[in-house]
Chains A and B, each alone.
Chain A
Amino acid sequence: MGHLRHRPRLRWLVGFVAAFALVATACGGGGSDDGDDQGSGGDSAGVVDAADCPVKEVSSSTAPTNITVWHAYVGLQASTLQQIADAFNASQDKVKVDVQAQGTYEELLKKFQDALANPASLPDLVLTEDTTTQFMIDSGVVVPAASCREADPGSDATYDDVLPAVTSAYTVDDVLWPGAFSVSMPVMYVNKAILAQADVPTDSYPQTIEELRSVAEKIKAANVPGLKTPLVIKVDSWFVENWLTGAGKPLVDNDNGRSGLATESELVQPDTTRIYEWFKSMIDDGLATAIPSSSTGVDEYLALNAKSSAILIQTSTAISTVAALLEGSVSKDQLGGVGIDATINTGLDIDVALQPGLEEAGQGQIGGSAWYMVKTDEKLGVPAAWQFIRYYLQTPNQVTWTLQGSYLPVLKSAQDDPTLQKEFTTTTKGKWLNTAYQGLKNLNPDFPGPVIGPFNEFRAIMRTSLDSVAFNGVGVKDAIKKADTDFQASLDQYKTDTGG
């Protein structure tokens, strides 16, 4: 999924445009193959231990336990998190939560890494990007949620309510690691008016990337005035990840990293070539505009808005922003101030659909962030963090999180919540979120995506690789081969780092 890890310079966008969540959600890892979760004593490598999570001691302690929470949210999401934390603090006196923003996801991870050298500075709860699962496991300081679930059987009801695709995304070796999740999915934004002009049906959207190509060809043939290319793509790694995962193809060995440390790259495979060739031919044939991965702007959204493109695949967390843009609740002046001379068109007929895949639409992996509990000097830190997690997972708070933060609801029961239902059925933003949510519900929990140690390095390698194909005329075969070599090198390096 779109991993727009932008530099701090861009934080203004997220700030004033309600939830212009360029905090793109990277697609995350998945769960275990048999979809069955922990809690049943399946302790791979003995990491699950209820003694690490003495929940009863928190309730019985006389003094409140203070915990720190590190996150990388900005704008509305950050304030929503703070709001939930404040409510939590006010609702009881056993745990006091201190929420601390740490910059971008990269900065957060770096700070966490530095804190490993100085354990006294570790936070009790850290909300990192979905790609960090393996790193968190290997850091040796994270207590898996599975341990707390064992110590707190009352939590079963909650976790049974969580969508299976979500828990399986974060289960490795039969152990659920993070306790809470903020989820997003890739979706396809479509300008229905332009599609109609090209006689493309708008009641059913393309299911595969080949069908998407046909649609693009039809649009191009219709010579719509002002249209540059039918599709606009911001070059990123998650395309490849999502499409491979959606078709059940692994990126690494050991069951895609789910049953043991991933040590071999499986990037070189027919479907990877298929994706790369699709990508290259779409650009070469004038069917898609590629935006460099290093771009920090919002060009792809602007292209959609300026009607120079009709289709964009991006993260669901951008839904509220796109909706706001179209409804005109973001002014041109606000965008103009930073040198984007865009005329914002309102009233465009945009629709949101499930993103196409290799075999069917709407399959792939989830993105977003996850909540990990950390073993610190504070003995009751872990169970105290667990309490906060339980609070956050309560339906009313999840509803707030979705409505304000634009993340997708992870609870099955959230669907029945009247406020959410109202939003889902009446507002544009709500309808779009619902589409994404339905996709999430239908996600196959049996193949949740790769768990890679050097995930961020993998993404950087992929971005460079795709950039080289899109902009430097590198051939598909060479690009994949180089990416594979570099990826293998980083996997080897990661393995050495874990002492393996």
Chain B
Amino acid sequence: MATDVTTLDGSSDAAPVAGPRPGRARSRWAAAGWYLVLTLLSVIVLFPVYMLLLRAISDPLAYVAEGQPLHPVAVEWDAFTNAFTEASLGRSMALSFVVTLVIVVAQLLTSVLAAYAFAFLEFPFKRVLFAVVIATLLLPIEVTLVANLQTVRDIGLLNSVPGLSVPFLASAFGIFLIRQGFLGIPRDLRDAATLDGYGHLRFLFRVAVPLTRPIIGSFVVISFLGAWNQYVWPRFATTEDSWQTVQVALRSIANDRVDQLNIGFAAAVIAALPLVVLLILFQRQIVRGLTAGAVKG
């Protein structure tokens, strides 16, 4: 019996979804108890964020002088504007946007094309090549960091947008995910398309992609998240302060301004905003993308 329990990704599954039925008589007390527990847990989860906000708006010296209370001290909102004027946060965010865009678009293109090849085309060594793609999961940027840095340095791409994006232009995860999506397209549709004289490219763009839009959408969001959050590669692929992406800038802001930490904290708040917006707008896609490999059904 399907009960309508809210699912995070907004879908209402055909499969009956679970949800412990509250007992009738004790429901009031039980509910109150659960509300308490949930609130407590929420406080724990949100406490770190609260501290960040608190210290972003408090004058750092006054805050420490007052013994680090739980309430704001000497509230000043300058830190937020200072993050832009003094710490060039605007520049780093713009850079992050550009690099992320490049990566997402590139990953989308390369993944869609490769997924199509694996899903709809026959060619010798197809299985070997698929294994090769999967094998790259064993070679994340952390493992190849040292060598890739040498490569990028040798080509002279340090401190540049290409340098920041080039190791991430293709994604095995993307290929895998989109291929799954393509494989789900019913045979009838494909056959009908062939009969109607659809070539591969036309089929790809007119049929395959539109039909798998949800999964592609999820991939785009996940890809965006991953690219925006990159830390290790931008940290070492750039040596100039002016080429720091926002994640790397956060660290150097906090490091360099020990007497004005509120600017560092404000910068962190600002840097998190795009993702918060993303999360709110695309909660469904994110959840679907994250649970794609994990949960059946």
Contact = CB atoms under 8 A, between A and B. Distances in A.
Interface string A286-323: 00000000000000000000000000000000000000
Nearest to A11: B256
A338 B239 contact: no
B206 interface: no
B276 to A, nearest CB: 29
Given A117-B153, A118-B153, A16 B259 contact: yes
B64 A336 contact: yes
B255 interface: yes
Contacts of B60: 337
Interface string A381-394: 00000000000000
Contacts of A16: 259
A333 interface: yes
A339 B153 CA distance: 40
B153 A12 contact: no
A153 interface: no
A111 interface: yes
A8 B153 contact: no
B61 A333 contact: yes
A44 B201 CA distance: 71
A12 B257 contact: yes
A336 B65 contact: yes
B239 A337 contact: no
Contacts of A11: 256, 258
Contacts of A336: 61, 64-65
Contact of A9 (B61, B65, B239, B255): B255
Given A114-B239, A118-B156, A337 B255 contact: no
B241 to A, nearest CB: 9
Given A111-B239, A333-B61, A338 B259 contact: yes
Q: Which of B65, B156, B259 has the most CB of A within 10 A?
A: B259
Nearest to B60: A337
A337 B64 CA distance: 7
A456 interface: no
Interface residues of B, number: 14
A223 interface: no
A19 B108 CA distance: 53
Contacts of A117: 153-154
Interface string A153-165: 0000000000000
A111 B154 CA distance: 15
A369 to B, nearest CB: 21
Given A114-B239, A118-B153, A118-B156, A8 B255 contact: yes
Interface in B116-170: 153-154, 156
A427 interface: no
B154 to A, nearest CB: 8
B153 A114 contact: yes
A343 interface: no
A40 interface: no
Interface string A106-124: 0000010010011010000
Contacts of A8: 252, 255-256
Contacts of A10: 258
Contacts of A9: 255-256, 258
A337 B153 contact: no
Q: Which of A12, A15, A120, A337 has the most CB of B within 10 A?
A: A337
A120 B155 CA distance: 12
Given A336-B65, A337-B60, A12 B255 contact: no
Contacts of A333: 61, 65
A369 B257 CA distance: 25
Contacts of B61: 333, 336-337
A334 interface: yes
Contacts of A120: 156
B239 A334 contact: no
A26 B215 CA distance: 60
Interface string A319-361: 0000000000000011011110000000000000000000000
A4 to B, nearest CB: 16
Contacts of A118: 153-154, 156
A11 B254 CA distance: 12
A111 B238 CA distance: 12
Contacts of A339: 64
A337 B259 CA distance: 6
Contacts of B259: 12, 15-16, 334, 337-338
Contacts of B256: 8-9, 11-12
Contacts of A15: 259
Interface in B190-248: 239
Interface in A1-60: 7-12, 15-16
A336 B59 CA distance: 13
Nearest to B150: A117
A10 B255 CA distance: 8
A117 B154 CA distance: 8
B5 to A, nearest CB: 49
Interface in B88-123: none
Nearest to B59: A337
A120 B154 CA distance: 11
A473 to B, nearest CB: 33
A339 B258 CA distance: 10
17 contacts: A8-B252, A8-B256, A9-B255, A9-B256, A12-B258, A16-B259, A111-B239, A114-B239, A118-B154, A118-B156, A120-B156, A333-B61, A333-B65, A334-B259, A336-B65, A338-B259, A339-B64
Interface of B: 60-61, 64-65, 153-154, 156, 239, 252, 255-259
Interface of A: 7-12, 15-16, 111, 114, 117-118, 120, 333-334, 336-339
Given A118-B153, A336-B64, 14 more contacts: A9-B256, A9-B258, A11-B256, A11-B258, A12-B259, A15-B259, A111-B239, A114-B153, A117-B153, A117-B154, A118-B154, A336-B61, A336-B65, A338-B259
Give the top 7 A-B pairs by smallest Cβ distance, nearest first: A337-B61, A12-B259, A12-B258, A337-B259, A8-B255, A338-B258, A9-B258
